[in-house]
């Protein structure tokens, strides 16, 4: 019987810091025992610009979670994001030593190492290597090569890398808060873990997490990651556009976005006005149609850009699971119908998997990443105990990046 294991997810987002403490009970189920949230300060477009400010927010969120769970934590699974994260696909290959035929764990590691022999920009470090498929003696579609007989092992990997100093900044403020970033996960990977099932990923699915400062995306085909990345455009941009287009202060623009803006194609011809009861705004009311036009233009552009980046046409017929939208901005009215209009495949807003525990507050797409983090940490644990598990985590992330 496995002992109780504690997992802590920590997301430093552009709009909020969220912490979740969860434990894996003896029956293997994950239960949330404490949560904490604090509005972010000092983060722009997913990247930390003011360590001292964000460390305070981080302390607030973590202490709240600690108090609720009555635990003290030190090791955390942290999410990283920011437009500096980039990805590529690369193939690695090795010859199996003459003296044996069967492929062993060591070979699997070697082939991964050989795939990392690619050029990434100076100053960048690898964050994830996620296996897409193995080839044994050129034969495609081998799920797990362990124990197979062959002379040559090859594999295609999805590799995520990012600017070292920016990842370091992220880790530094976690350390400032007296925590240890035991595992570092790309936000998109975590969100996908929270909102998609293995079956979705097998069918092919595009997960788009639109937060405050960044849009994190990840595309799965045949259960493997094919594409991932971050775009530094998200909910704050919608707010900014509204603020400029309707000439209202940012706070009011945010409120209009959350409460009234609608981006479905039909909403562009919306009628009527929104009354504004705000002493800082003299105008009194804004036209719904204009509000919607401004918001829709931004979101459509964002999604269209993603579509182009992913070369989505090439993948569309292999993405049977459609588009899953999550992150705080997924709460924008009409976003699913806009996304299916843009991508030409079904799209829906995806909530994070419900977990046991007092998690009512966390039943929102805003918390997909942080919930994904604990799920990720858990499956990592499982993978360690059972090497036969094939999941996106069977992907050997670099748990500790030398020098970070």
Partner 1 sequence: MINLGPNAQAAAPSAPVSSVKVIGVGGAGLALLERLASMPLGRTDLVAASTDARALMGSSAARKVQLGREATKGLGSGGDPSVGEGAAKESSSEIRDECEGAAVVVVCAGLGGGTGSGAAPFVAHEAHRKGALVIGVVTMPLAGEGGKRREQAERAMARLARSCTAILCFENDRLNELGPEGMTISDAFDASAQTLAAAAAAVVRMVSLPAILRLGIDELMQVFQGSSARCEFGYGASSGSDRVRAAVEEALSSPLLESGKLLGYSESVLVHITGDGSLKLAEVHSALRQISKHVEENAQVMLGVATDPEAEDVFDVVIMACKGAAAKSGIDDDDEEDDGVAQETAGEGETPEDGVAKPAESREKTKTSRRTAGGEQTQEELPLDQAMRGRFKDLDPTMVDGQDLDVPTFIRMRIRLK
Write out the residues near partner 1 by the rule CB under 8 A: 44-45, 49, 83, 231-233, 236-237, 239-241, 243-247, 250, 282-285, 287, 290, 293-294, 297-298, 300-301, 305
Q: How far apart are CA 68 and CA 89, in angstroms?
A: 42
Nearest distance in Å: CB 371, partner 1 = 27
Q: How many CB atoms lie within 10 A of CB 27?
A: 8
Adjacent-strand bridge partners of 300? none
Nearest distance in Å: CB 128, partner 1 = 23
Nearest distance in Å: CB 244, partner 1 = 4
Closest to partner 1 by CB, 80 vs 205, is 80
Nearest distance in Å: CB 306, partner 1 = 11
> 72: Cβ–Cβ under 8 A, 6 or more apart, which residues?
66
Q: How far apart are CA 161 and CA 122, in angstroms?
A: 11
Nearest distance in Å: CB 232, partner 1 = 4
| Residue indicated by tokens 């690369």 | 90
As given in the structure block, the two tokens for residue 83 are: 């437009």
* DSSP single-letter state for residue 163: E
Q: How far apart are CA 321 and CA 193, in angstroms?
A: 14
Closest to partner 1 by CB, 124 vs 203, is 124
Closest to partner 1 by CB, 232 vs 327, is 232
As given in the structure block, the two tokens for residue 118 are: 């690619």
Closest to partner 1 by CB, 91 vs 300, is 300
Q: How far apart are CA 136 and CA 310, in angstroms?
A: 28
Nearest distance in Å: CB 308, partner 1 = 9
Q: Which of 357, 393, 356 is nearest to 378 (CA)?
A: 393
| Residue indicated by tokens 């699997």 | 108
φ/ψ of residue 211, rounded to 5? -100, -145
Classified as helix, coil or strand, 323 is: strand
> Distance of CA 403 to CAs 125, 169, 172, 183, Å?
10, 13, 12, 14
Closest to partner 1 by CB, 244 vs 356, is 244
Pairing verdict, β 323-326 and 43-44: unpaired
Closest to partner 1 by CB, 46 vs 322, is 46
Q: How far apart are CA 373 and CA 117, in angstroms?
A: 28
Closest to partner 1 by CB, 103 vs 242, is 242
Nearest distance in Å: CB 102, partner 1 = 48
Nearest distance in Å: CB 6, partner 1 = 37
Closest to partner 1 by CB, 293 vs 325, is 293
């Amino acid at each position: 019987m496995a002992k109780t294991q504690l997992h802590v997810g920590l997301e430093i987002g552009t709009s909020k810091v969220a912490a979740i403490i969860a434990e894996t009970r003896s029956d293997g189920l994950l239960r949330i025992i404490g949560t904490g949230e604090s509005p972010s300060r000092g983060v722009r477009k997913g990247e930390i610009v003011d360590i001292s400010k964000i460390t305070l927010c981080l302390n607030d969120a973590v202490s709240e979670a600690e108090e609720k769970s009555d635990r003290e934590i030190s090791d955390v699974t942290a999410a990283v994001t920011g437009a500096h994260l980039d990805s590529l696909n690369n193939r690695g290959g090795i010859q199996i030593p003459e003296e044996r035929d069967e492929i062993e764990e060591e070979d699997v590691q070697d082939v991964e190492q050989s795939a990392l022999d690619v050029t990434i920009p100076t100053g960048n470090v690898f964050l994830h290597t996620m296996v897409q498929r193995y080839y044994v003696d050129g034969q495609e579609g081998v799920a797990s090569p362990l124990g197979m007989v062959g002379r040559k092992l090859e594999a295609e990997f999805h590799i995520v890398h990012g600017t070292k100093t920016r990842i370091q900044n992220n880790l530094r403020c976690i350390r400032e808060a007296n925590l240890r970033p035991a595992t570092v996960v790309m936000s998109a990977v975590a969100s996908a873990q929270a909102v998609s099932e293995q079956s979705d990923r097998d069918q092919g699915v595009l997960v788009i997490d639109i937060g405050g400062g960044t849009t994190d995306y990840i595309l799965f085909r045949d259960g493997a990651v094919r594409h991932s990345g971050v775009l530094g455009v998200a909910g704050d941009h919608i707010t900014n556009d509204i603020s400029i287009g309707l000439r209202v202060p940012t706070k009011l623009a945010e409120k209009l976005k959350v409460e009234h803006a609608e981006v479905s194609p039909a909403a562009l011809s919306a009628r009527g006005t929104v009354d504004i009861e705000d002493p800082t705004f003299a105008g009194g009311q804004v036209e719904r149609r204009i509000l919607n036009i401004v918001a829709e233009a931004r979101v459509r552009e964002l999604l269209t850009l993603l579509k182009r980046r992913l070369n989505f046409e090439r993948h569309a017929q292999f993405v049977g699971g459609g588009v899953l939208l999550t992150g705080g901005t997924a709460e924008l009215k009409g976003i699913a119908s806009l996304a299916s209009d843009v991508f030409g495949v079904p799209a829906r807003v995806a909530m994070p998997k419900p977990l046991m525990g007092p998690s009512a507050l966390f039943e929102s797409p805003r918390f997909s990443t942080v919930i994904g983090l604990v799920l990720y940490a858990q499956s990592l644990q499982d993978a360690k105990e059972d090497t036969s598990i094939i999941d996106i985590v069977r992907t050997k992330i670099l748990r500790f990046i030398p020098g970070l």
